[in-house]
Chains A and B, each alone.
Chain A
Amino acid sequence: MKETIIEKVKDLFEDSRIEAFLGLKEENGQIGPYLFTDPKDLEGFSLGDKEWPGDKRYPLSKILIALAQKYPENRFGILVRGCDERALNELFKWNQLNEEHVVMVGFPCPQELAEACECPKPYPESLVVGEKVKGIKSKKVEVILNMGMEGRLKYWTERFSRCIKCYGCRNVCPVCFCNECELANDDLIPSGEIPPENPIFHLVRAAHMAGRCIDCGLCEEACPVGIPLRTLYKKVADIVDSEFGYRPGYQKDQKSPFNILGERPED
């Protein structure tokens, strides 16, 4: 799988379709994001699997926003899983990236990772290698629904009370790009208070993720105190889908319903 991707990236360089490729590289036993500007560097290229599949994922699309701002004229290739592609699709729509300057090089996740993530679409459309893996429907949302009202409140307030307000969940999120974050507004969320107002802090973030969260799970992975953020946002995505018929990251031509004001209500 890796070799095919490396060949593909080399071709992109050779055909002058990209000036740089954003992927992952293993160096000194560590895997991290790396901007390849010379195909010769592709030695050490990594797909982000160290101990187990996909244990070294990074929000590459978010890094690409910063790169594109610095080098607006250049075209970038980028390594994508299903979730990365969904993130990029949203970022194009929100005008954070120019689709014409981005070439996606996609690969599927193994079934094992798809199940761990409960990922609805563990492969990108821009597959250059491998097979489309079966999507998984979430069971975790169901488990919480079955707790009943009281149980759910207990469950979430207990989880949220562990929060140390490190902002890891926000900082890692590929679709969190607001210049001013309400969660860092001192009047709303006073600094120095830990945990941040329970459950407001988390419900605000969850509501802001409506129509945006592409279900990559990086927030939950980043959270040092193990708050099941992904499950919360999965439910948010389900409600948005049933109310507005919209799933972030899938349809390229459909804008988020939270980006439009809508029509006049009928009397």
Chain B
Amino acid sequence: MTAKRIRFLKEFLSFSGIEPDRLRLEWVSSAEATRFVEVITDFIDQVKELGPSPLKAALAAQDLN
């Protein structure tokens, strides 16, 4: 159910023009510290690669109009 909701959100974000890769769902148990670090590091890299959110620029463009 949660997985479906996240898929819903990703497609919804995409329709709004926000990269769906900025959202990720992972299951990590409290006993999996190493995996937790891996997942977060990987996600940080992914978001860094995407760069700053395009939202800021889009909103700034609105203010100019």
- Residues of chain A whose beta carbon lies under 8 Å from any beta carbon of chain B: 144-145, 149-158, 161, 198-199, 203, 206-207, 210, 232, 235-236, 239-240, 243-244, 257, 260-263, 265
Q: Which chain A positions have C-beta within 8 A of B27?
A: 265
Known: A153-B18, A257-B1. 5 other contacts (CB 8 A): A156-B16, A157-B58, A158-B62, A199-B55, A262-B2
Is there contact, CB below 8 Å, between A244 and B4? yes
Q: Which chain B positions have C-beta within 8 A of A155?
A: 17
Given contacts A157-B55, A157-B62, A243-B8, contact A262 B17 (CB under 8 A): no
Is there contact, CB below 8 Å, between A153 and B15? no
Is there contact, CB below 8 Å, between B16 and A199? yes
Among B2, B18, B65, find the residue whose CB has the most chain A CB atoms closer than 10 A: B18
**Is B61 interfacial (CB-CB < 8 Å)?**
yes
Majority secondary structure of chain B interface residues (helix, strand, loop or mixed):
helix
Is there contact, CB below 8 Å, between B8 and A203? no
Rounded to whole angstroms, the CA-CA distance of A68 and B2 in the bound complex is 35
Among A150, A199, A203, A239, find the residue whose CB has the most chain B CB atoms closer than 10 A: A239
In chain B, residues 29-65, which have Cβ atoms closer than 8 Å to a Cβ of chain A?
54-55, 58-59, 61-62, 65
Residue of B with least CB distance to A144: B15
Rounded to whole angstroms, the CA-CA distance of A118 and B32 in the bound complex is 50
Is there contact, CB below 8 Å, between A235 and B58? no
Q: Which chain A positions have C-beta within 8 A of B59?
A: 157, 161, 198
Q: Which chain A positions have C-beta within 8 A of B19?
A: 149
Residue of B with least CB distance to A261: B1
Rounded to whole angstroms, the CA-CA distance of A208 and B17 in the bound complex is 19
